[in-house]
């Protein structure tokens, strides 16, 4: 059974060169999971990336980047991918065939390895906690990994991002972040992180409800960030929407207007033909749209400087005018035929 290529080499650039035009090609090699079974190891043969399961077929297992396409045999950078999966559904099949299975697949860990002299160093990103029912990462840890004097791994420069979600399974609203807290610690130490170890904390409230309430439309109405002391919260943005769920106004922590968006047609509905965005100083950017495709036809700033675009029947750009040429019958700056 054909399971795809095990390894693909990509060369970029012109291989030819002259005395006055030296050329070199970049080279990268990608190795793949193919669902062939067994344990797949890295190109060195020392690190097990995981079992080569059918649901992983086509995933990049390792990417190697080289200095050039000819003289270098050792990559300057390698990226390793360690996938994981969870079965979500199955269906029996006639004729003695194995059941047809569906899986949710995610990256459990990735290592970006770089050569530093005769040694190596990597940035490891690992999903240490996962909501497997919804396929959502709950805690993601990054660290710098280097070999110590004995050759074992030594971790440093930890960060941990923990995310809580506001899901509404009945309305099929899945994956909206309720709170994201990032600390300069491992995920094991995130719960006891001090204010000096807190990198950021963000809370989102949806649909004009209280924080933590189940969303019904999934529109972010209030955004909060941590205060200077760390454990408290301050409002960073307040958003309002029109009846169609389109952003209408954004105000900042002081209650000052950041932007207001006006649509044509407005609340009566219909395909949008233009939008005007007005910032807190009254400056405007007006955009006209092709209502059938949503393509930007013109964009004019508060100084009446504008750009203009023309498209063919397939929605492909064929002519474009910059502000210096966008008026009258001047020739386009870009013309594609």
Residue 105 pLDDT > 70, yes or no? Answer: yes
* Nearby residues of 158 by Cβ (< 8 Å), 6 or more positions away: 141, 142, 143, 184, 185, 186, 189
Residue 81 pLDDT > 90, yes or no? Answer: yes
pLDDT attached to residue 182: 97
CA distance 326 to 56: 50
Express as a percent the part of the chain with pLDDT over 70: 97
pLDDT attached to residue 82: 98
Comparing 97-106, 137-146, 252-261, 325-334, the range with the smallest average pLDDT is 325-334
What's the full length of the chain, in residues?
337
Please name which of 95, 147, 93, 94 lies closest in space to residue 119, comparing C-alpha atoms. 147
Helix, strand, coil in percent for the chain, rounding step 5:
5, 50, 45
Please give the average per-residue pLDDT across 36-61, as a whole number: 95
Residue 166 pLDDT > 90, yes or no? Answer: yes
- ∠ CA 18-22-28, rounded to 5°: 125
Here the tokens at position 20 are 């006055």
Please give the average per-residue pLDDT across 53-70, as a whole number: 92
CA distance 73 to 64: 11
CA distance 140 to 162: 7
CA distance 193 to 199: 10
Here the tokens at position 307 are 């750009």
The beta-carbon contacts of 16-24 under 8 Å, at least 24 apart in sequence, are: 24/68, 24/69
Bond preceding residue 265 cis, omega within 30 of 0:
yes
Name the band, by pLDDT with cuts 50, 70 and 90, for residue 152. Answer: confident
Paired strand residues for 261: 277
CA distance 249 to 187: 37
pLDDT attached to residue 115: 86
Q: pTM of whole model > 0.75?
A: yes
Please name which of 330, 332, 302, 300 lies closest in space to residue 319, comparing C-alpha atoms. 332
Place of tokens 């409800």: 209
pLDDT attached to residue 337: 85
Mean model confidence pLDDT for the chain: 93
Residue 22 pLDDT > 80, yes or no? Answer: no
Please give the average per-residue pLDDT across 253-257, as a whole number: 93
Backbone angles phi, psi at 80, to 5 degrees: -105, 140
Residue 1 pLDDT > 80, yes or no? Answer: no
CA distance 114 to 150: 19
Please give the average per-residue pLDDT across 101-117, as a whole number: 93
pLDDT attached to residue 135: 93
pLDDT attached to residue 149: 77
Name the band, by pLDDT with cuts 50, 70 and 90, for residue 69. Answer: confident
Name the band, by pLDDT with cuts 50, 70 and 90, for residue 118. Answer: confident
pLDDT attached to residue 67: 85
Here the tokens at position 98 are 């194995």
Residue pair 59/34 in contact (Cβ under 8 Å)? The answer is no
For residue 319, the 8-state DSSP code is E
Higher pLDDT, 229 or 179: 179
State whether residue 144 is helix, strand or coil. Answer: strand
Paired strand residues for 30: 8, 63
**pLDDT tens digit sequence for 179-223:** 999 999 999 999 999 999 999 999 999 999 999 999 999 999 999
Residue 326 pLDDT > 70, yes or no? Answer: no
pLDDT attached to residue 83: 97
Name the band, by pLDDT with cuts 50, 70 and 90, for residue 282. Answer: very high
pLDDT attached to residue 21: 66
Residue 238 pLDDT > 80, yes or no? Answer: yes
* Nearby residues of 223 by Cβ (< 8 Å), 6 or more positions away: 202, 203, 204, 205, 235, 236, 237, 238, 239
Residue pair 144/132 in contact (Cβ under 8 Å)? The answer is no
Please give the average per-residue pLDDT across 129-154, as a whole number: 91
CA distance 66 to 27: 5
pLDDT attached to residue 119: 82
pLDDT attached to residue 127: 97
CB-CB neighbours of 143 under 10 Å: 18
CA distance 276 to 292: 19
Residue 275 pLDDT > 80, yes or no? Answer: yes
């Amino acid at each position: 059974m054909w399971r795809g290529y095990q390894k693909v080499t990509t060369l970029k650039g012109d291989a030819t060169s002259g005395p006055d035009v030296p050329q070199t090609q970049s080279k990268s090699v990608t190795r793949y999971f193919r669902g062939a079974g067994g344990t797949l190891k890295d190109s060195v043969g020392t690190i097990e990336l995981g079992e080569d399961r059918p649901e992983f077929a086509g995933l990049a297992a390792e990417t190697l980047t080289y200095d050039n396409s000819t003289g270098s045999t050792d990559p300057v950078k390698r990226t390793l991918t360690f996938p994981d999966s969870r079965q979500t559904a199955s269906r029996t099949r006639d004729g003695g065939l194995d059941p047809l299975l569906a899986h949710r697949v995610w990256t459990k860990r990735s290592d970006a390895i770089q050569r530093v002299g005769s040694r190596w160093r990597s940035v490891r990103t690992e999903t240490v906690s996962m909501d497997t029912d919804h396929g959502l990462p709950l805690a993601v840890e990054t660290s710098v990994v280097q070999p110590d004097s004995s050759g074992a791994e030594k971790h440093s420069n930890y960060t941990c991002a923990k995310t809580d979600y506001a899901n509404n399974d009945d309305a099929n609203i899945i994956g909206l972040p309720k709170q994201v807290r990032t600390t300069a610690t491992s995920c094991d130490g995130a719960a006891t992180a001090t204010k000096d170890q807190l990198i950021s904390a963000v809370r989102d409230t949806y649909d004009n409800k209280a924080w933590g309430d189940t969303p019904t439309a999934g529109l972010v109405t209030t955004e909060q960030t941590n205060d200077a002391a760390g454990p408290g919260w301050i409002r960073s943005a307040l958003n309002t929407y029109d009846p169609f769920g389109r952003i209408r106004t954004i105000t900042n922590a002081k209650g000052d207007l950041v932007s207001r968006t006006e649509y044509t047609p407005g609340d009566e509905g219909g395909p949008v033909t233009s939008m005007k965005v007005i910032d807190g100083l009254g400056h405007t950017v007006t955009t006209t749209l092709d209502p059938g495709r949503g393509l930007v036809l013109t964009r004019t700033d508060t100084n009446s400087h504008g750009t203009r675009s023309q498209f063919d029947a397939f929605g492909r750009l064929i002519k474009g005018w910059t502000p210096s040429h966008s008026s009258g019958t001047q020739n386009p700056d870009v013309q594609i035929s």
